[in-house]
Amino acid sequence: MKLVTIAAGVLNQTPLDWTGNLENILAAMEQAQQQNVSILCLPELCITGYGCEDAFHSPGVEKTAHEMLLAVADAAHDLVVSVGLPLTYAGGLFNTAALIVDGRIIGFVGKQHLAGDGIHYEPRWFKRWPEAVIGEVEIDDTAYPLGDLVFEVGDVRIAFEICEDAWVASRPGARHAARGADIILNPSASHFAFGKHRVRRGFVREGSRAFNVNYVYTNLVGNESGRAIYDGDAMIACNGELVALGRRLSFEDVTLTTATIDIDVTRMARARTGSFQPELDGDESDVIQVKFAWPECELESKDLSRDAWEDSPDIKHEEFTRSVSLALFDYMRKSHSRGFVVSLSGGVDSTSVVVLVSIMVRLAINELGIERFRDKAGDIFASIPETGDDVVRQLLTTVYQATRNSSATTRDAAAEVASAISADHLFFDVDSLVQDYVTTVEQAIGRELTWDHDDLALQNIQSRVRSPGVWMLANIRNALLLSTSNRSESAVGYTTMDGDTSGGLAPIAGIDKAYLRTWLEWIETTGPDGIGSIPEVRCVNVQEPTAELRPADSHQTDEGDLMPYVILDAIERLAIRDKLMPIEVHEHLQADYPDIDALQLGQWTIRFFQLWCRNQWKRERFAPSFHLDDKNLDPKTWCRFPILSGSYEYEIEKLRDKLACLSSG
């Protein structure tokens, strides 16, 4: 048997945080050495951080990355470790993985397939490394090979697929296998999305089977640079079988997933595979050889244990809760904020936000303990909290802001929810401020403002008046103001700019309203594993969603103003995700909702497209939001659309003609 202990190291890094990133890398290496690990794979671009964006083009960033690389090499005693960093070669910047063996930098592999869709913009900064090309790069007066390389360390061959390389049809792993690779390392920075873990498991397992190799996959964890969340996926597979799985969405900065593999078993499986054909051209210029004495180790049992929530029938609810909770925690500490402030209206959106903050605290304390929670959060507490309730009370301030159109129902619901989660809850009466603005404008324009003629203006002023006071509160407490807008409202602009959109972060702007209502019902009855339910949110769930910006006798509801949220979200998917025209959207709606009048579906479709085009400027101004699935509307990371456009007028006219025909029978 040829036994080697390998590890996938998961890190919570921050762009350009040289000291913090290096500390995490060194901590992972120290843990690996203590656990007798011989090969440690660390995430993509872990030295600089993945999300440096245009800072990658700063020569100083690359120079500092070189300094950090040398520091990593100095600490890599009796260890083979891979770390990621940007490198310049022949005038282009490349995303690379460095292999360090027992304190020596051996060479660099360039990423061959760049992620340029969705939230990724790698081609803006990097060039793709071409297949079978080898160059040389100089660092600190020493030359190193760079390119499409295989490393023969001792008598074990190691190769790379860097993140996107494994997501394409022409994976580099096939060529590496033909060159006799025993182990393929995949350092990744793969953002979280619902259900994505299953896809990764598939290509890790299939890569190990098809290439007859041992495959090591590792990922970043946490909220690295603001919008993307990383789940810390770590997997090791041998010959088509997973032998180790790591914990996902952990609050730890460093975790290792290890396995002891038998290289001889992998080699024999490859030799017995009829379809395998080794590359026998005799040219081994792409194989970098280095001496290394592999230490003796013992075969260990497989570690496929997972957190209980991973097998939950409510896996999407669990993933949503845990990913946003982790992102909130990282955003708070990395932005050096002293907690959060939320304008709690007593409705679904603001309740969802404050519940997520509360659960963030509970999940983090369950994993880290309260002392380590305090240490990781930094010097943000006015007094030392002893319990989870104490932590929430110091980190989360909620405020209900009433006008004459607010109801006792929402006021009481906000108070009940705040009490249930132990938030510091305040009450503002802002009606006099609203009336002062109304009177000021009436006197200036010389007429009375009425609901018949000035409906939108009278609604919006109430929302805007709520903004300065809650911003002031956030400033006083050095806290982060959270916006409570959701994706459904973003799609149609059903939100007041400089009112309910106010905030430094919009944690639920990436998720639709229909899902939030379902999730909050789950929170009422079940809740996340290890935390449990919050029955008190029932006072919110029983309400019909309403902005409460018109007088009570108007019986205003969100869906009355817009359309049923289920239909709105369906149109959004068809129009924005699938890029269908209005008449095509209507055809799909007719098939999917046969019980709803086709004319009504048509009117809702027209309304959606008109509001979508009219409100792109609002989406451009929203606070940063978390990416959660493939339907994000954030124009900075996913869905670009012109602020000024033809507003689908030509296409809408075609739909109107169709509706006219339907109406005439």
pLDDT attached to residue 547 = 78
Q: How confident is the model at residue 68 (pLDDT cuts 50, 70, 90)?
A: very high
Q: How confident is the model at residue 21 (pLDDT cuts 50, 70, 90)?
A: very high
The DSSP letter of residue 191 is: B
Which residue is associated with the tokens 């999917």? 592
pLDDT attached to residue 77 = 94
Mean pLDDT of 544-571: 88
Side chain identity at residue 639, one-letter code:
C
What six digits make up the tokens of 159? 């190769």
Mean pLDDT of 237-253: 96
Domain ranges of the chain: 3-306, 310-558, 563-665
Q: What's the pLDDT tens digit per position in 373-427? A: 999 998 888 889 999 999 999 999 999 999 999 999 999 999 999 999 999 999 9
For the chain, give the percent of residues with pLDDT over 70.
100
Q: How confident is the model at residue 58 (pLDDT cuts 50, 70, 90)?
A: very high
Q: How far apart are CA 550 and CA 100, in angstroms?
A: 66
Looking at CATH, the fold of the domain delimited by 3-306 is given as Nitrilase/N-carbamoyl-D-aminoacid amidohydrolase (3.60.110)
Beta strands in 199-265 (DSSP E): 214-218, 221-223, 229-231, 234-238, 241-245, 254-262
pLDDT attached to residue 632 = 85
Q: What's the pLDDT tens digit per position in 280-298? A: 777 888 999 999 999 988 8
What six digits make up the tokens of 537? 């949110």
Task: Provide, for the chain, the percentages of residues in helix, strand and coil under a 3-state DSSP scheme, each rounded to the nearest 5.
Answer: 45, 20, 40
Q: Are strands 234-238 and 134-139 parallel, antiparallel or unpaired?
A: unpaired
Q: What's the pLDDT tens digit per position in 647-659? A: 999 999 999 999 9
What six digits make up the tokens of 357? 């903050």
pLDDT attached to residue 256 = 98
Q: How far apart are CA 517 and CA 352, in angstroms?
A: 9
pLDDT attached to residue 499 = 92
Is the pLDDT at 481 greater than 80? The verdict is: yes
Q: What's the pLDDT tens digit per position in 122-148? A: 999 999 999 999 999 999 999 999 999
Looking at CATH, the fold of the domain delimited by 310-558 is given as Rossmann fold (3.40.50)
Mean pLDDT of 570-588: 97
Residue 70, number of CB atoms within 10 A of its CB? 14
Mean pLDDT of 150-178: 96
Name 200's Cβ contacts closer than 8 Å, sequence gap at least 6: 190, 217, 233, 235
What six digits make up the tokens of 73? 């090499």
CA R_g for the chain: 28
509, 485 Cβ separation under 8 angstroms: yes
Beta bridge partners of 7: 40, 258
pTM confidence score: 0.95
Which residue is associated with the tokens 């910047």? 93
CATH architecture assignment, domain 563-665: Orthogonal Bundle (1.10)
pLDDT attached to residue 279 = 82
Mean pLDDT of 346-357: 97
Is the pLDDT at 213 greater than 80? The verdict is: yes
| H-only helix segments in 232-314 | 263-271
Work out the angle between the directed axes of helices 649-664 and 582-592 (0-180°, nearest 10).
40
SS3 of residue 476 by DSSP: helix
For the chain, give the number of residues. 665
pLDDT attached to residue 395 = 97
Q: Which residue, 434, 639, 645, 442, is CA-closest to 549?
A: 434
User: CATH topology of 3-306 equal to that of 310-558?
Assistant: no
Q: What's the pLDDT tens digit per position in 70-101? A: 999 999 999 999 999 999 999 999 999 999 99
179, 279 Cβ separation under 8 angstroms: yes
Mean pLDDT of 354-371: 97
What six digits make up the tokens of 77? 């005693």
End-to-end CA distance of the chain: 79
| Separation in Å, CA 98 to CA 81, 104, 465 | 8, 10, 54
pLDDT attached to residue 299 = 84
Mean pLDDT of 41-67: 98
Q: Among 34-38, 340-344, 534-538, 549-553, which stretch is predicted with the lowest mean pLDDT?
A: 549-553
pLDDT attached to residue 283 = 81
Mean pLDDT computed over every residue of the chain: 95
Work out the angle between the directed axes of helices 565-572 and 582-592 (0-180°, nearest 10).
130
pLDDT attached to residue 556 = 87
Mean pLDDT of 188-196: 96
What six digits make up the tokens of 582? 């209005």
